Amino acid sequence: MAYKKEEGNTVSVSDVQKSSVAAERPVNRPIKNYRCGNYSGAIWANEKDTKDGLISFMTASLRRSWKDKSGMWRDETVNLRKNDIAKAILLLNKLQEEMFFSEEGENDE
């Protein structure tokens, strides 16, 4: 790996190339955001280079945020393709149905 000297710092050439490629690439921001309590969802526009050319597609992300015991904010994100959303909804509906109709879950909020 080649290295380049920059103002007293040693920087690998590959790091310099990566940073300039990243600078040329536009930042991908969601095209739509939704929020409900500690959950948020976003729709993303994406592009992919294929042998047939550039294709555009959308994905969704679902994020849950919470504070841990030490007071630090944490989050977890699930990324979904269009065909995954219906499967996730079906599964969540089944889980909700089971929890609502189970005798043990009657005292839960």
pLDDT in tens, 32-89: 999 999 999 999 999 999 999 999 999 999 999 999 999 999 999 999 999 999 999 9
User: Greater confidence, 89 or 14?
Assistant: 89
CA separation for the pair 47, 56 (Å, rounded): 4
Q: Which residues contact residue 67 at a Cβ distance below 8 angstroms, ignoring those fewer than 6 apart?
A: 73, 74
What predicted TM-score, i.e. pTM, was given to this entire model?
Answer: 0.63
More confident residue, 93 or 16: 93
Domain range annotation of the chain: 30-101
Contacts of 59 (CB under 8 A, 6+ apart): 43, 44, 46, 79, 80, 81, 82
Q: Average the pLDDT over 7-31 and give the result.
A: 61
CATH class of 30-101: mainly beta
Binned at pLDDT 50, 70 and 90, residue 108 comes out as: low
Q: Is the pLDDT of residue 7 over 70?
A: no
* Residue 3 scores a pLDDT above 50: no
Predicted pLDDT at 28: 84
CB-based contact 60:39 (threshold 8 Å): no
Q: Flag whether pLDDT at 97 surpasses 70.
A: yes
Q: Which is nearest to 31 in space by CA: 64, 60, 65?
A: 60
